[in-house]
């Protein structure tokens, strides 16, 4: 068998136009399509009218300014509302403070008046005992040492009671020689005399007392009047 008749096997002609190496690959086609798309996009961008960027920015800034104005107005309205609320709250606080101060003063005054009333009630019960001590001192005259000791003992008790009343604010009246005052004196007798002007207290019969500025007990007094002889003679001369 000759060499020309033997099969050639896998030997191929590399110069043949139908070999796979000479065919265009799919990747090459995709690259060409992408490049064409970029070129077309570039041409469209070049052909499109230019965008006025300054107008867009100004429009956006104007919108932002308008929003800020609206926010500012809203905040100003809220501030005014809070100011009104604060003023109203301060007014309520001042009224409450004034009411509380008035209540405190009124309560304090009522408390003091109640304390004075309790004091006066208790002291009024003690005054008759003071009167009895004073009558005993004026009428009893000790005749011997034993009576003098008794006199000194009850007088010391009398002094303790008087000192205690002074500490409570009790003061005895001294109306002799003063003009009769119905706010402090109770006239139970009249005395015809020319030694005192008419209407003058000549004697205190039962002692009166005051508690501060309050009258505990009116003093029972004798009041001077013009003698009848002087009155009759004045009438005859007229």
Structural domains of the chain, ranges and CATH numbers in brackets? 80-168 (3.90.20), 172-232 (2.30.22.10)
Task: Output the pLDDT for position 106.
Answer: 94
Bridge partners (DSSP) of residue 192 are 225
| Cβ proximity of 210 and 170 under 8 Å | yes
| Cβ proximity of 170 and 209 under 8 Å | yes
Q: Whole-structure pTM over 0.85, yes or no? A: no
Those residues of the chain that have pLDDT short of 70 are 1-55, 229-238
Burial-class residue 196 by CB neighbours within 10 Å (0-12, 13-18, 19+).
middle
Q: Which residues of 7-25 are buried (b: 16+ CB within 10 A; e: fewer)?
A: eeeeeeeeeeeeeeeeeee
| Cβ proximity of 204 and 185 under 8 Å | no
57: helix, coil or strand?
Answer: helix
d(CA 55, CA 57): 5
- DSSP 8-state class, residue 203: E
């Amino acid at each position: 068998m000759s060499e020309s008749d033997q099969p050639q096997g896998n030997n191929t002609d590399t110069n043949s136009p139908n070999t796979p190496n000479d065919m265009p690959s799919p990747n090459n086609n995709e690259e060409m399509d992408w490049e064409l798309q970029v070129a077309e996009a570039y041409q469209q961008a070049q052909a499109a009218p230019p965008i006025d960027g300054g107008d867009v920015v100004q429009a956006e800034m104007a919108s932002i300014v308008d929003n800020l104005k609206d926010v500012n107005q809203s905040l100003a309205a809220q501030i005014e509302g809070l100011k009104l609320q604060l003023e109203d709250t301060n007014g309520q606080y001042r009224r409450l403070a004034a009411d509380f101060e008035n209540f405190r003063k009124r309560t304090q005054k009522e408390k003091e008046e109640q304390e004075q009333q309790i004091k006066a009630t208790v002291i009024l019960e003690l005054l008759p005992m003071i009167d009895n001590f004073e009558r005993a001192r004026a009428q009893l005259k000790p005749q011997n040492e034993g009576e003098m000791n008794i006199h000194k003992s009850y007088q010391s008790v009398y002094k303790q009671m008087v000192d205690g009343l002074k500490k409570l604010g009790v003061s005895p009246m001294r109306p002799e020689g003063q003009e009769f005052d119905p706010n402090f004196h109770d006239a139970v007798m009249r005395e015809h005399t020319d030694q005192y002007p008419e209407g003058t207290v000549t004697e205190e019969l039962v002692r009166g007392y005051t508690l501060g500025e309050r009258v505990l007990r009116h003093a029972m007094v004798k009041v001077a009047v013009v003698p009848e002889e002087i009155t009759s003679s004045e009438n005859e001369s007229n």
